[in-house]
């Protein structure tokens, strides 16, 4: 399952749009866009540069979830892994 940590009106819509186009199951988690939250250790562990979006792929491996940032890279990842050509 793909989870997109997103703030409405920001770049996370790129990954959301692609999931819709590919008819992939995904969920959207709302992120607190405040500078304080984005500076927090918990968020920096998910996105070291403190921005949004973040993508989680819980089916990347049998042991660990896969986390990534950079929306353009997310699009490429989703296409490579789930685009089916």
Ligand X SMILES: N[C@@H](CCC(=O)N[C@@H](CS)C(=O)NCC(=O)O)C(=O)O
Residue 34 φ then ψ, to 5°: -65, 145
16, two tokens: 């959301």
Ranges within 6-45 binding ligand X (CB under 6 A): 10-11
Distances (CA, A) of 24 to 41, 43, 45, 82: 30, 25, 26, 8
9, two tokens: 């009106």
Please identify, using beta-carbon distances, which residue of 35 and 85 lies nearer to ligand X: 35
Does 68 help bind ligand X (rule: CB under 6 A)? no
- Pick the stretch among 20-28, 57-65, 67-75, 77-85 that binds ligand X (CB under 6 A): 67-75
Does 51 help bind ligand X (rule: CB under 6 A)? yes
Q: By the criterion CB under 6 A, which residues form the site for ligand X?
A: 10-11, 51-52, 70-72
């Amino acid at each position: 399952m793909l989870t997109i940590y997103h703030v409405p009106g920001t770049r996370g819509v790129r990954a959301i749009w692609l999931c819709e186009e590919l008819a992939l199951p995904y969920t959207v988690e709302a992120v607190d866009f405040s500078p304080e939250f984005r500076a927090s250790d918990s968020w920096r562990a998910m996105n070291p540069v403190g921005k949004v979006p973040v993508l989680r792929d819980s089916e990347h491996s049998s042991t660990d979830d896969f986390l990534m940032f950079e929306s353009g890279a997310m699009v490429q990842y989703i296409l490579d892994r789930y685009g089916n050509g």
